Homo-oligomer: A and B are copies of this chain.
Amino acid sequence: MEINLFDLEKLIDRSLREDIGTGDLTTNSIVAPDATTYGYIMAKEGGVVAGLQIAEMIFCRFDPAFEFKALVRDGDRVRPGSILAEIAGRARAILAGERLALNFLQHMSGIATRTAGLVSLVEGSPARIVDTRKTTPGLRAIEKYAVKAGGGYNHRFGLYDGVLIKDNHIKVAGGIGPAVKSARLGSPHTVRIEVEVEDLAGVREALSAGADIIMLDNMAPEEMQEAVKLIAGRVLVEASGGISEGNIRAAAAAGVDLISVGALTHSVKSLDICLDLHMVKTVRN
């Protein structure tokens, strides 16, 4: 997985502490420390999988010798009933880690699945589906990873690695021109300047101010087409605002380079995935 491992380990730490706290009362009372068992993780509905490595890391926290045999890979499309992984190890590890592992898998696969659906809708056009900063606090890295697993692309990670001049910035700066000029001066030369505009006048202003990317905010398809014609390939064009399954084809048809979709991460329907035990074998170590 391409997520920074340091941050991933910390995220898992935090999540485990949140769920397990001073210990799993039920499992610790009922299951002997050295009992082992095995089972599988299965998709109960169809979709695109993401998060298998996190699931594996969680079980291995409880049992370093845990066996997690993934049968699919992140980004794979699976059908209802598909086995995603076979697992074997300490029964305590499985029972204590199950919920958290599924919470991650279901959330990330939900994002990947919806992304893949949107990507397939614009197939054939050059437009890329990209995410936004409307992510769940604390989960941005894994949510952006899930977008890529679904065939999408990532926008800037946060406020520190890209410049996006929005409506409110323009108000404060007193216009697109001064805003772009200040941003160029104040940010590294390695970063592009993107400007959000709401109409064709804005497009013209952004072009003459020297923007590198123009974001068309909440424009109707016809207006987008005109904007794209006006820009004529000189800078990248991003469609944004209220994009969903219903209107994404029109946005792509308008000729934009990028379509950003906040709902990919702000309104996630988790993919239904379960964990079942085959049977139990208890081995004394």
Contact = CB atoms under 8 A, between A and B. Distances in A.
Interface of A: 2-4, 6-7, 11, 13-31, 35, 37, 91, 94-96, 98-100, 102-104, 106-107, 110, 128, 130, 133-141, 153-166, 168-169, 171-173, 178-179, 182-183, 185-192, 194, 213, 236, 238, 257-258, 266-270, 276-277, 279-280
A159 B238 CA distance: 25
A235 to B, nearest CB: 11
Contacts of A153: 188-189
B141 A139 contact: no
A21 to B, nearest CB: 4
Contacts of A183: 25-26, 29-30
Contact of A160 (B107, B157, B168): B157
A190 B186 contact: no
Contacts of A28: 2, 186
A136 to B, nearest CB: 6
Nearest to A183: B29
A107 B266 contact: yes
B133 A136 contact: no
B18 A138 contact: yes
A154 B160 CA distance: 13
Nearest to A170: B30
Contacts of A258: 189
A107 B268 CA distance: 10
A104 to B, nearest CB: 6
Contacts of A268: 267-268
A159 B191 contact: no
A34 to B, nearest CB: 12
B161 A161 contact: yes
A236 B191 CA distance: 12
Nearest to A128: B189
A50 B154 CA distance: 29
A160 B213 contact: no
A66 to B, nearest CB: 14
Contacts of A3: 22-23
Contacts of A19: 133, 140, 158-159
Contacts of A7: 17, 22
Contacts of A21: 4, 21, 157-161
